[in-house]
C-alpha cells in the first residue's frame, strides 16, 4: 500500500540532489544531467519503498514536462530570434551604438538599469534579457568588460522589473496565492526591492571601474571591430522594427511565441532586402544561428573578419538551445518523482511547524520558497505551494496577506534564475552565454531581497497587520515570546 514518507525519507532525495550538484557540479564541474538523474534514481528507490508504482512516478515526470513545455518552446523561439536579429543587423546595430554611447566603466550599472526599465514596461524578464540583454553582452565583449558581472547585472535588472511589473505573470500570481491585492502587493515589495536594487547598483558601480581597469580591450582593437560592423551591415531605423514588435506584443499581452515569430519573419526580410544576405542563409540562421560566413552572400570576404567579431556575432539558432533544455528535462525527472511520493509536503510541513514568531515565520516562508525553487526549478511552484501552505498561518497571526505575497516573490520569483538546472537558469545562461554559477554572485538582486525580508521579519519593519491589530493567536505568541 502507498504510504506517506517520514521526514527522513522525504528529505533524503533532496539532500542527495544538493550534495550531488553542490559537490559534483559546483566543485568538480561534472555534467549536471547525470547528477540529476542519479538524484531522481534515489527518489525513485524511496518511492518504491513507499509503495509508489513506476507508472505513477513516470506520470509525475510527464506532468512536470508538460507544464514546462511552453517555457521550453519560448526558449527555442528565442534561439530563432537571436539568430535572425543577428542576420538582420538589429542586434549588431544596438551593439554598435551602445559602444558609442556607453562608457565601459558604466556599462554594468547601465545593464542593470536598462533591463530593469524594459522588464518593468513589458512584464517579462525573459524578453528583456533575450533582447536588450543580448545586445549588452555584445557591448561587454567588444569593450572587454567582465561577462559574468555584466550577465549578473542583466539577470538582476530583468528580474527587478519583472518582479514589480503589473504585467508580469508572477507578480499577479503571488498576490493571488496569498490573497492580497495586486497594487498593494507591488507597493509593499518596494520595501525590500528598492534596498536590494540600491545594494546591487553600488556593487555594479564599483565593479564597473574594477572590471574596466582589468579589461583586455584597447582603442585600436575596438575601432577595428566598429569598422568591421559598419562594413558588414547597413544601419537603418527599420532595424528597430523587430524590437518594437516584441516590446509592443509584451505590453499588449499578446501570446509570446506568435509575437516572437512575427519579429523573426520581419528580421529575415530585413536580412534579405536590407543586408543582402541570401534567403537560404537567413533561414539557416534560424536553426544554426548567424555566422559571419553568411556575409559572403552580401559581397564580403568572411576571411577578413577578425575572431573578436566572430565571437561577437556567431550566435543564436535553435540548435544552440537544444543542449541546455536537456538539463531541464533531467530536472523534471527528479521534480516529478518527489512530487508523486509526497516529499515536498512533508518537508514544508516540518518547516511550518518550527515557525513560532513573525520573524521565524518569514524565515520559514523564505526557506520553503528556496526549497521549492531548488527542487522543482519552477518560479510558479515556488510561489503557489508555499503560498498555499502559509496563507492560513499568516491570517491566524493577524499578518496582512501582502506580507506573504512579498516574501513569496522575494524568495521565489527572483531566486529561480540563480538555480542552474531551473528553466530560468537554463534560459539565462544559454541566452547570455555565461554559466549560472559564474553570474550568480553578481545577480545581487536575486539574493539580497530575501535577506532584507528576513531582517524585516525579525525587526517588524514594514510588517503590516490586518486592520492594524493582531489576532488573539498572534497576541498570545508575542506574549509568550516576551515571557
Q: Residue 345: exposed, middle, or buried by beta-carbon count in 10 A (0-12, 13-18, 19+)?
A: middle
Asked whether 419 and 409 are in contact (CB, 8 A), the reply is no
Asked whether 355 and 325 are in contact (CB, 8 A), the reply is no
pLDDT of residue 299 exceeding 80, the answer is no
pTM: 0.72
Helices 358-376 & 401-408 angle (0-180, nearest 10): 40
Between CA 450 and CA 452 the distance in angstroms is: 5
Average pLDDT on 190-212 reads: 86
Residues counted in the chain:
483
pLDDT digits (tens, 9 = 90+) for 471-481: 344 444 445 54
Helices 169-178 & 147-164 angle (0-180, nearest 10): 50
Q: How far is CA 141 from CA 135, 137, 146, 429, in A?
A: 10, 6, 8, 16
pLDDT digits (tens, 9 = 90+) for 40-86: 999 999 999 999 999 999 998 998 788 778 777 877 888 898 889 98
| Contacts of residue 30, Cβ cutoff 8 Å, sequence gap at least 6 | 24
Backbone φ and ψ of 450, nearest 5°: -75, -20
Cell triple for 162: 519583472
Q: How far is CA 288 from CA 166, 258, 283, in A?
A: 36, 21, 9
pLDDT digits (tens, 9 = 90+) for 174-197: 887 788 888 888 889 999 999 999
Residue 342: left (phi > 0), alpha (psi -120 to 50), or beta? left
Angle value at C-alpha 271, between 267 and 277, nearest 5 degrees: 150
**What confidence score (pLDDT) does residue 472 get?**
44
Map grid coordinates 551602445 to a residue: 98
Map grid coordinates 559572403 to a residue: 296
Report residue 227 CA to chain centroid gap.
34
**What confidence score (pLDDT) does residue 221 get?**
67
Average pLDDT, the chain: 83
**What confidence score (pLDDT) does residue 391 get?**
82
| Contacts of residue 413, Cβ cutoff 8 Å, sequence gap at least 6 | 159, 162, 163, 170, 171, 174, 379, 382, 383
The candidate with the shortest Cα–Cα distance to 228, out of 137, 147, 295, is 295
pLDDT digits (tens, 9 = 90+) for 117-173: 888 876 778 878 877 888 888 888 888 888 999 999 999 999 998 888 876 777 877
Amino acid at each position: 500500500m502507498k504510504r506517506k514518507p517520514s521526514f527522513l525519507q522525504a528529505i533524503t532525495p533532496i539532500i542527495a540532489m544538493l550534495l550531488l550538484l553542490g559537490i559534483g557540479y559546483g566543485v568538480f564541474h561534472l555534467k549536471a544531467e547525470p547528477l540529476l538523474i542519479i538524484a531522481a534514481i534515489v527518489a525513485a528507490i524511496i518511492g518504491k519503498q513507499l509503495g509508489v508504482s513506476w507508472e505513477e512516478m513516470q506520470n509525475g515526470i510527464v506532468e512536470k514536462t508538460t507544464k514546462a513545455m511552453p517555457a521550453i518552446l519560448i526558449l527555442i523561439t528565442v534561439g530563432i530570434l537571436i539568430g535572425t536579429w543577428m542576420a538582420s543587423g538589429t542586434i549588431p546595430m544596438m551593439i554598435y551604438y551602445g559602444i558609442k554611447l556607453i562608457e565601459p566603466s558604466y556599462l554594468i550599472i547601465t545593464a542593470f538599469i536598462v533591463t530593469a526599465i524594459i522588464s518593468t514596461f513589458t512584464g517579462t524578464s525573459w524578453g528583456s534579457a533575450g533582447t536588450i540583454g543580448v545586445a549588452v553582452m555584445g557591448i561587454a565583449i567588444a569593450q572587454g568588460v567582465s561577462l559574468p558581472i555584466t550577465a549578473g547585472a542583466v539577470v538582476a535588472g530583468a528580474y527587478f522589473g519583472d518582479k514589480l511589473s503589473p504585467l508580469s505573470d508572477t507578480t499577479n500570481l503571488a498576490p493571488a496565492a496569498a490573497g492580497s491585492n495586486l497594487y498593494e502587493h507591488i507597493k509593499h515589495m518596494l520595501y525590500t526591492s528598492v534596498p536590494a536594487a540600491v545594494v546591487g547598483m553600488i556593487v555594479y558601480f564599483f565593479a564597473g571601474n574594477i572590471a574596466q581597469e582589468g579589461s583586455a580591450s584597447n582603442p585600436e582593437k575596438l575601432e577595428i571591430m566598429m569598422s568591421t560592423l559598419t562594413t558588414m551591415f547597413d544601419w537603418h531605423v527599420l532595424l528597430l522594427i523587430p524590437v518594437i514588435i516584441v516590446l509592443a506584443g509584451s505590453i499588449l499581452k499578446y501570446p509570446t511565441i506568435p509575437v516572437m515569430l512575427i519579429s523573426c519573419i520581419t528580421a529575415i526580410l530585413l536580412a534579405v532586402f536590407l543586408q543582402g544576405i541570401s534567403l537560404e542563409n537567413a533561414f539557416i540562421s534560424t536553426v544554426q544561428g548567424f555566422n559571419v560566413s553568411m556575409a559572403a552572400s552580401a559581397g564580403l570576404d568572411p576571411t577578413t573578419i577578425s575572431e573578436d567579431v566572430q565571437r561577437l556575432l556567431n550566435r543564436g539558432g535553435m540548435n544552440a538551445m537544444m543542449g541546455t533544455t536537456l538539463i531541464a528535462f533531467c530536472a523534471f525527472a527528479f521534480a516529478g518523482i518527489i512530487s508523486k511520493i509526497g516529499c515536498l509536503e512533508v518537508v514544508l510541513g516540518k518547516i511550518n511547524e518550527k515557525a513560532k514568531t513573525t520573524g521565524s515565520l518569514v524565515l520559514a516562508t523564505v526557506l520553503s520558497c528556496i526549497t521549492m525553487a531548488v527542487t522543482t526549478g519552477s518560479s510558479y511552484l515556488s510561489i503557489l505551494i508555499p503560498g498555499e501552505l502559509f496563507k492560513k498561518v499568516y491570517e491566524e497571526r493577524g499578518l496582512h496577506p501582502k506580507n506573504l505575497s512579498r516574501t513569496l516573490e522575494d524568495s521565489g520569483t527572483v531566486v529561480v534564475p540563480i538555480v542552474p538546472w531551473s528553466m530560468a537558469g537554463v534560459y539565462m545562461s544559454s541566452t547570455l552565454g555565461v554559466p549560472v554559477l559564474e553570474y550568480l554572485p553578481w545577480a545581487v538582486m536575486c539574493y539580497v531581497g530575501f535577506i532584507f525580508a528576513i531582517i524585516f521579519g525579525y525587526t517588524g519593519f514594514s510588517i503590516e497587520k490586518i486592520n492594524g491589530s493582531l489576532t488573539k493567536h498572534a497576541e498570545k505568541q508575542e506574549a509568550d515570546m516576551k515571557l
